[in-house]
Amino acid sequence: MKNLLISAALGVVLASPAFAAEVDTIAILTPEQGSDFGWNQQGVDAAKAAAEATGVEIIVAEGLGYGDVRAPMRELAAEGADLLLAHASGYNTAGPEIAEETGVAVAIVDSPDALTPGKVADYTLSGHEGAYLAGRLAAKMTTTGTVGIVVSGEPPSWNAQSAGFAEGVQAENPDVKILYSVIGPAAYSDAAGGNRVTTSVIAAGADIIFGQGNGSSFGMIQAVESNKATDGSDVLFIDVIGDKSSLDKGHLLTSVMWDMTPVYTAMIEDLKADKYGTRSYAISLADDSVKLIKTPQVDDAAWEDVMALREQILSGEIKVEPKFDAAEVRALVTLAE
Amino acid sequence: MDGLLTEAFLSSLFTGAIVAAVPMLLAGLGEQMSEKAGVLNIGIEGMMLMGAYMGFLVAFKTDSLWLGFVGGILGGLMVAIAMAVLCVRLGLNQIVIGIGLTLGAEGLTALLHHFQFSRTYPRLPVPERLNIPGLTDLPVIGPSLFGRHLIVYLALLAVIILALLYRRTNLGMTLRAAGESPAALDVAGGNVLGIRVFAVLFTGAMAGLGGAYLANIGAGLFVPFMTGGAGFIGIVLAMLARGRPFWVLIGSLIFGAALSLTTALQVAGSNIPTDVIQMLPFAAVMLVLVLFGRRAKLPSALGAAYERGAR
């Protein structure tokens, strides 16, 4: 009887989720260097900030490329990482496998269906609300009556922002034409392609470009600086995720900034509370993890209007739903003649 | 498809086609000379990439686009020298060495970029354009065709010069002999290895210049792997052109237009799925190969190392 009671008590202890997991170290894996003024840099900076806020160590593994990351993931798990932030959609296959194999929690992107309690969580981030505001701003400031969206791929996060931007433009002024062009199937670092496509979109009439493209963004910016709009005015650029204002030569209109610190902080806290893998994480205007930056190129009156619109989104007066499918984006922009 | 044949569509198409075609034209012209001399220069992608890196580095450090182009030529030559020594002088397998040089150049330039530029991403100033009076103002095609950087017009001039060189000069005949019948050239007193080394170095210079154009004019900065296969397309162009520089020009414009069409169709609001549109350049390559590939006449000794007296 005594043995039975001891066994039962041990069973309850082992099966209980009430005991918090100890999290000492997290690691982030990025495909490119964390110095790209965009996706990779924001990820690395946010992971460092979250680690500091929660008092854990961080290991940064940068520039791993878009190939197979199983080996570095195993290595980081062996080094004692309690959470692996697999910061690229190309890591979504390897991530859950490594979580299963090593027992270390893994966070992946753009995979809301992959949630596995204790092992796999998803962060499908989207600044669609910020992109909507950027669209309103672009529609207010265009002089040619045409704006362009140039993307280096069509991952869900970017589709949501492209759709948000297009909806913002249409809400502000339905007469503004929206041109849309994808550089290539996964042309994230194709700077020359970014330049070529953006040059073409400008030649077709756009004077404000909403560009999403990691390394290819630099080619887009070069095209914006190199070409005049069809009405002779300067072309302006709207960036996403990071802040390139330190590189700006007078053409950056704004950027839809992302701050992933709240996301990573929540993941660490959930892991400590044994709730990891039970929910997805998001960024939003409400906590400023999505926001627009004001540059000297922004008209003050237009900025005030946009900030007022921001309040309307926060109050629920304006609703911007994310649209993650590329077909939904195209449905919004094929109105161009 | 309402937007097809509008000014916006055509402007987008012509502009993108020229921007995309120039690097492929320069690479194709370079590769053509190697192939004429009997060397299959698979390493041209690496030469282009090194040219892109060196071209950007020099232009950035000196604030001179023209010195940047010289840097690009030197960058291409650096890889071409390795190709000439290993494949022409030592007679090693041209395909294996070419692939190795390309992979090596990819890794080296990515590493150098990481240490030098990956935290600042510097960009070059906007290049000046040479507007041809009277023509630049033409609607649709004016700015696209007649408002380009001087290097574009020099690339077109190179087509004419090379066509004359191949047809009218002894050097052209010697190059052809080195590719068709190196032993006969040797017997006639020609220097087979010397002319092949010259051809490989010329390829390196042209590929490097193409890479520098891509970095300095096409993008305004260098990023790793930025050539994206333009060198390999240059090889296809050279093979299909049957030794004629004008055909390389036409081919590069076709491929450039196919690339640009992917943008123009999207800009025109086409309802064709993006994935299908993105396949167009590759479909164009396949179509051209099916239509003209069989008739592509390659030099008899292409790819074969020459060793005096060997049978």
More confident residue, B46 or B302: B46
- For residue A179, give the DSSP letter: E
For residue B82, tell me if it sits in a domain: yes
How far, in Å, are A41, A143, B142, B166, B183 from residue B178 at the CA level? 53, 60, 43, 13, 8
Question: How high is the pLDDT of residue A2?
Answer: 55
Residues A63 and A211 in one domain: no
Residues A215 and A182 in one domain: yes
Residue pair B18/B145 in contact (Cβ under 8 Å)? The answer is yes
Which of B5, B7, B10, B12 should one mutate to test binding to chain A, selecting the residue with the greatest count of A CBs within 10 A? Answer: B12
For residue A278, tell me if it sits in a domain: no
Task: Tell me the one-letter amino acid at B204.
Answer: G
For residue A31, tell me if it sits in a domain: yes
B276 neighbourhood in chain A, CB within 8 Å: none
What value does the mean pLDDT take over residues A13-23? 56
The answer to whether residue B62 scores a pLDDT higher than 60 is: yes
Question: How high is the pLDDT of residue A5?
Answer: 52
Number of C-beta neighbours around residue B150 at 10 A: 13
Residues A226 and A184 in one domain: yes
Range of the domain at B284: 7-118+168-295
Which of B128, B267, B272, B279 should one mutate to test binding to chain A, selecting the residue with the greatest count of A CBs within 10 A? Answer: B267
B11 neighbourhood in chain A, CB within 8 Å: 200, 203-204
Query: What is the distance of C-alpha A15 from the center of its chain?
Result: 37
Minimal CA separation from B62 to chain A, in Å: 19
Question: How high is the pLDDT of residue B310?
Answer: 65
More confident residue, A311 or A185: A311
| A185 with B278: Cβ contact below 8 A | yes
Of A301-305, B96-100, B123-127, the poorest mean pLDDT is in B123-127
The answer to whether residue A271 scores a pLDDT higher than 60 is: yes
> Out of A201, A225, A326, whose CB is closest to B267?
A201
Residues A71 and A118 in one domain: yes
Pairwise CA distance, residues A37 & A218, whole Å: 10
Pairwise CA distance, residues A292 & A285, whole Å: 9
Domain count, chain A: 2
| A199 with B15: Cβ contact below 8 A | yes
* H/E element, A197: helix A191-203
Question: How high is the pLDDT of residue A280?
Answer: 87
Q: Tell me whether B266 touches chain A (CB under 8 Å).
A: yes
What value does the mean pLDDT take over residues A202-209? 92
Which of B49, B223, B226, B261 should one mutate to test binding to chain A, selecting the residue with the greatest count of A CBs within 10 A? Answer: B223
- The rounded percent of chain A whose pLDDT value lies above 90 is 63
Cα dihedral B178, B182, B184, B185 in deg (nearest 10) = 40
Mean pLDDT across chain A: 89
Residue pair B44/B299 in contact (Cβ under 8 Å)? The answer is no
Residues A194 and A48 in one domain: no
Question: How high is the pLDDT of residue B1?
Answer: 47
Question: How high is the pLDDT of residue A16?
Answer: 44
Residues A115 and A133 in one domain: no
Range of the domain at A91: 20-125+260-272
> Out of A179, A195, A335, whose CB is closest to B218?
A195
Give B265's contacts (C-beta < 8 A, 6+ positions apart): B272, B277, B280
ipTM of the complex: 0.73
* H/E element, A4: helix A2-15
B225 neighbourhood in chain A, CB within 8 Å: 189
Both tokens of A9, joined, read: 């008590």
Pairwise CA distance, residues A147 & A141, whole Å: 10
Q: Tell me whether B274 touches chain A (CB under 8 Å).
A: yes
pLDDT tens-digit map of B153-199:
999 999 999 999 999 999 999 999 999 999 999 999 999 999 999 99
The answer to whether residue A10 scores a pLDDT higher than 60 is: no
For residue B216, tell me if it sits in a domain: yes
How far, in Å, are A11, B178, B198, B206, B311 from residue B80 at the CA level? 70, 18, 10, 10, 27
For residue B159, tell me if it sits in a domain: no
Residue in A with minimal Cα distance to B274 = A182
Number of C-beta neighbours around residue B287 at 10 A: 14
Residues A104 and A182 in one domain: no
- At residue A9 the predicted structure's pLDDT band, cuts being 50, 70 and 90, is low
Euclidean distance between the first and final Cα of chain B, in Å?
61
Pairing relationship of beta strands A105-108 and A120-122 according to DSSP bridges:
parallel
Residues A78 and A48 in one domain: yes
For residue B218, tell me if it sits in a domain: yes
Residues A137 and A32 in one domain: no
Residues A222 and A144 in one domain: yes
Query: What would the 3-class secondary structure string for A199-240 be?
Result: HHHHHCCCCEEEEECCCHHHHHHHHHHHCECCCCCECEEEEE
- HSE value, Cβ hemisphere, 13 Å, CA-based, for A114: 24
Residue pair A141/A236 in contact (Cβ under 8 Å)? The answer is yes
What value does the mean pLDDT take over residues B35-54? 95
Question: How high is the pLDDT of residue A19?
Answer: 47
What value does the mean pLDDT take over residues A192-212? 90
The answer to whether residue A7 scores a pLDDT higher than 60 is: no
Pairing relationship of beta strands A105-108 and A25-29 according to DSSP bridges:
unpaired
Question: How high is the pLDDT of residue A20?
Answer: 57
Q: Tell me whether B140 touches chain A (CB under 8 Å).
A: no
A204 neighbourhood in chain B, CB within 8 Å: 8-9, 11-12, 264, 267
Residue pair A179/B203 in contact (Cβ under 8 Å)? The answer is no
Residue pair A300/A276 in contact (Cβ under 8 Å)? The answer is no
The answer to whether residue B7 scores a pLDDT higher than 80 is: no
Pairwise CA distance, residues A142 & A229, whole Å: 10
Residues 158-177 of A with CB under 8 A from B: none
Question: How high is the pLDDT of residue B294?
Answer: 72
For residue A6, tell me if it sits in a domain: no
Domain count, chain B: 1
Cα dihedral B77, B78, B83, B84 in deg (nearest 10) = 60
Number of C-beta neighbours around residue B26 at 10 A: 32
Q: Would you put residue A229 in left (φ > 0), alpha (ψ -120 to 50) or beta? A: beta
What value does the mean pLDDT take over residues B21-49? 95
For residue B91, tell me if it sits in a domain: yes
Residue pair A336/B3 in contact (Cβ under 8 Å)? The answer is yes
Residues A64 and A211 in one domain: no
> Out of B15, B263, B271, whose CB is closest to A334?
B271
Residue pair A37/A244 in contact (Cβ under 8 Å)? The answer is yes
Residues A65 and A177 in one domain: no
Residues 103-132 of B with CB under 8 A from A: 114, 118-119, 121, 123-124, 126-127
Both tokens of A136, joined, read: 């309103």
Question: How high is the pLDDT of residue A300?
Answer: 92
What value does the mean pLDDT take over residues A115-121? 93
The answer to whether residue B80 scores a pLDDT higher than 70 is: yes
| A205 with B8: Cβ contact below 8 A | yes
Pairwise CA distance, residues B200 & B194, whole Å: 10
| A222 with B221: Cβ contact below 8 A | yes
For residue A170, the domain's CATH number is: 3.40.50.2300
> Out of B12, B262, B269, whose CB is closest to A337?
B269
Question: How high is the pLDDT of residue B272?
Answer: 72
pLDDT tens-digit map of A133-152:
999 999 999 999 999 999 98
For residue A277, tell me if it sits in a domain: no
Question: How high is the pLDDT of residue A308?
Answer: 96
Q: What is the pTM (predicted TM-score) of this model?
A: 0.79
Exposed, middle or buried: residue A301 (CB in 10 Å: 0-12, 13-18, 19+)?
Answer: exposed
Coil/strand/helix, residue A329: helix
What value does the mean pLDDT take over residues A6-24? 56
Residue pair B227/B214 in contact (Cβ under 8 Å)? The answer is yes
For residue B289, tell me if it sits in a domain: yes
Pairwise CA distance, residues A320 & A303, whole Å: 19
pLDDT tens-digit map of A47-85:
999 999 999 999 999 888 878 999 999 999 999 999 999
B216 neighbourhood in chain A, CB within 8 Å: none
Residues 184-203 of B with CB under 8 A from A: none
For residue A27, tell me if it sits in a domain: yes
- At residue A105 the predicted structure's pLDDT band, cuts being 50, 70 and 90, is very high
In 3D space, the residue among B297, B108, B219 whose CA is nearest the CA of residue A189 turns out to be: B219
Euclidean distance between the first and final Cα of chain A, in Å?
83
Mean pLDDT across chain B: 88
Question: How high is the pLDDT of residue A18?
Answer: 43
For residue A282, tell me if it sits in a domain: no
What value does the mean pLDDT take over residues B230-254? 90
Residue with tokens 């110095």: A35
Residue in B with minimal Cα distance to A200 = B12
Which of B128, B263, B280, B282 should one mutate to test binding to chain A, selecting the residue with the greatest count of A CBs within 10 A? Answer: B263
Backbone angles phi, psi at B10, to 5 degrees: -70, -40
Minimal CA separation from A11 to chain B, in Å: 53
- HSE value, Cβ hemisphere, 13 Å, CA-based, for A258: 31
Question: How high is the pLDDT of residue A12?
Answer: 46
Exposed, middle or buried: residue A6 (CB in 10 Å: 0-12, 13-18, 19+)?
Answer: exposed
For residue B196, tell me if it sits in a domain: yes
- HSE value, Cβ hemisphere, 13 Å, CA-based, for A70: 9
Give B126's contacts (C-beta < 8 A, 6+ positions apart): A222, A225, A226, B220
In the beta sheet, which residues pair with residue A146? A177
Residues 245-264 of B with CB under 8 A from A: 259-260, 262-264
What value does the mean pLDDT take over residues A22-34? 90
Question: How high is the pLDDT of residue B176?
Answer: 93
Pairing relationship of beta strands A25-29 and A57-61 according to DSSP bridges:
parallel
Write b or e for each residue in B251-285: b if 16 or more Cβ atoms lie within 10 A of its Cβ, otherwise e.
bbbbbbbbbbbbbbbbbbbbeeebeebbebbeebb
